[in-house]
Amino acid sequence: MATSPIARRLAIAGVCLLSLVLCCGLAWWQWEKFSSANGTFQNLGYVLQWPLFGLFPAFMFWRIRQIRLRAEANPPAEAPAPEPKPVRLPQPRASREQPLDPEDAELAAYNAYLAELAARDEESRK
C-alpha cells in the first residue's frame, strides 16, 4: 500500500497526539487515585511518568527524522573497499589415540555396575 509522505506524517502525528492524550488521562487518573484516602506515593510516581510515556512516540519520531536528515546531509564517502587478505585456515590433524586415564577406567567400571543394577531391577519386576 503506497501512501504519500504527507499522509504518513499526519498519521504519525495523530498517533503521537493520541498517545499523549491517553497518557495524560492516565496521569489524571493516577492523580485522583493518589488524592484519595488510600492513595500511595507509587500513584504519585505514575503521575509523573505517564506524561513522559505519552511524549515518547513524538520523541522517537523526532529522533528518527533527525538521524535521517543527518544521514542525507553527510553521505558516506564511496571509497573502494580494500582487497581482503586470504586467510589460511589450519588443516585438521590426524587424531592420536590417547591412553585411557585411570578415571576413565573407573567411570567405565561404574557404568557397568549401573547397567548390572538396571538389569537386575528389570528381572525383579518381571
What is the tens place of the pLDDT at every residue in 65-96?
999 999 888 877 777 778 888 888 888 887 76
Q: Looking at residue 114, what is its pLDDT?
A: 95
Residue 15's nearest CA partner among 52, 46, 54 is: 54
Mean pLDDT lowest among 10-14, 80-84, 97-101, 105-109: 97-101
Q: State yes or no: pLDDT of 28 exceeds 90.
A: yes
Indicate whether this model's pTM tops 0.75: no
Phi and psi angles of residue 17, each rounded to the nearest 5 degrees, phi first: -65, -45
Grid coordinates of 63: 529522533
Where does the pLDDT of residue 98 fall: very low under 50, low under 70, confident under 90, or very high at 90 and above?
low
Q: How far apart are CA 57 and CA 12, in angstroms?
A: 9
For the chain, the domains span 7-73
Q: State yes or no: pLDDT of 1 exceeds 60.
A: no
Q: State yes or no: pLDDT of 100 exceeds 80.
A: no
Rounded to 10 degrees, what is the CA torsion of 10, 3, 62, 44? 60
